[in-house]
Amino acid sequence: MCGSAAPPISYDRQWLARLLSSGGQLYTLGREWLNLESQDQYFGRMLLGDSGVSRLVMRATFDHTDDQPRLEFVAARRFLDPGAAAHAVFDSLMELGNRDAGTSPFALLRILAARRGDAGVLPYLDAARRAQPEALEWSVRTAGIRLALGDTAQADSLLGAVAARGGGALREALQMRGLLAAARNRPLAAVALREALAAGADTGQVRAALALLAARDSRWGEAASQARGSLGAAQGTFRHPYPGEFLTQALSQIALDAPSGMADSLLRYATSRRPGSARYLELAAVAALRAGRCEDAAAGFVELLDFAVQRDNGPALVRECWATQDSTVRTGAVRGAAGRQVEKH
């Protein structure tokens, strides 16, 4: 938000266009974190013009000053209210700004719709679909929320309609259909995911799902390769969120059941790519135990305490690892001595 004692604020559109266009200094930032397809969409997010701001100020019931920043505390408490506070803000902004030329609710709706599992956004998306029936993105975003809410039948129906029509939303629709097929463990899920990948879908998301499918079938080499590719491609931005559940499930199965050396190598890579993940750290410690790296496993369990995570059987697992190593060393020494005795005779 900008403020000025001498309105109106004017924007140098050519300068902003250079910053936000391909090759500009803010192109990646605008694309990945603001979800801008073009520099024109930057201004589409400004819902209130001068008259809208004036009406907003007239609604104020208290003063907000530097020494008494009351708005900070009021706004924070509102986010803890039951219900969807963001929707109330959306309605309020639209009511204030609907008399300003150029007001666009769709940019803010795209942001709200990114919150999967929020059923309160569905009425707005339905309204957007009626207002812009040719814009398939509203069907895709509706399908995403339906999918997160467990309504897979409705999600599948919406995505099928988008895929049949093609267009700019096809890539995201193909990706979501592939992820839906993977979640249901359908026979052709891998085919759907590879089709989405070929269409330019999010590499991190799709390869995470492919890794899980391979792990379910104990195809460990493929599972590890896809998981490593997902970890390498994951961006964790607004546009390309981190592949969470599919990748975590795949890494869990690999850590527990894949060949120990393969699992150990992959989980070490996972923790290097995402050092703030307590779950990855725990899986890496388990994989280290299986690989016989007892001290590294112990260090991993200790580091988990920094995340307030305590694995109760961690000490016992480490002791068992050391005992196994000692037994292996003793067995090796006995075998070596026996071999030397055989050679003498």
DSSP 165-202: H-STTHHHHHHHHHHHHHHHT-TTHHHHHHHHHHTT--
Run means of pLDDT, 10 residues per run, the chain, 345 residues: 64 86 88 80 71 78 85 70 58 66 68 77 88 88 86 87 79 88 89 92 94 97 98 89 90 97 97 94 96 94 92 90 72 40 39
- Domain for residue 123, yes or no? yes
Q: Which residue has the tokens 């839906």?
A: 180
Integer-rounded Cα radius of gyration of the chain: 27
166 within a domain of the structure (yes/no) = yes
C-alpha separations of 147 from 135, 144, 176, 190, 208 in Å: 20, 5, 9, 19, 18
Residues 119 and 126 sit within 8 Å (Cβ to Cβ): no
Residue 115 lies in a domain: yes
Q: 208 lies in a domain?
A: no
Q: Are 201 and 175 in contact (CB under 8 A)?
A: yes
| Confidence at residue 99, expressed as pLDDT on a 0 to 100 scale | 61
Residue 119 included in any domain: yes
Q: What are the residues whose beta carbons fall under 8 Å from the beta carbon of 261, sequence distance 6 or more?
A: 291
Name the residue range of residue 173's domain. 103-190
The pTM assigned to this predicted structure is 0.76
Please report whether residue 144 resides in a domain.
yes
Q: Cα(220)–Cα(95) distance, rounded to whole angstroms?
A: 55
The pLDDT assigned to 85 comes to 53
Which pLDDT value is given to residue 226? 98
Q: Does residue 235 belong to any structural domain of this protein?
A: no
Q: How far apart are CA 266 and CA 220, in angstroms?
A: 11
Report the domain count for the chain.
1
How many angstroms from the chain centroid is the CA of residue 55?
A: 37
The reported pLDDT for the residue numbered 342 is: 33
In a domain, 37, yes or no: no
The confidence score (pLDDT) of residue 84 equals 52
Query: From CA 155, how far away is CA 180, in angstroms rounded?
Result: 9
Degrees, nearest 5: CA angle 211-216-218: 90
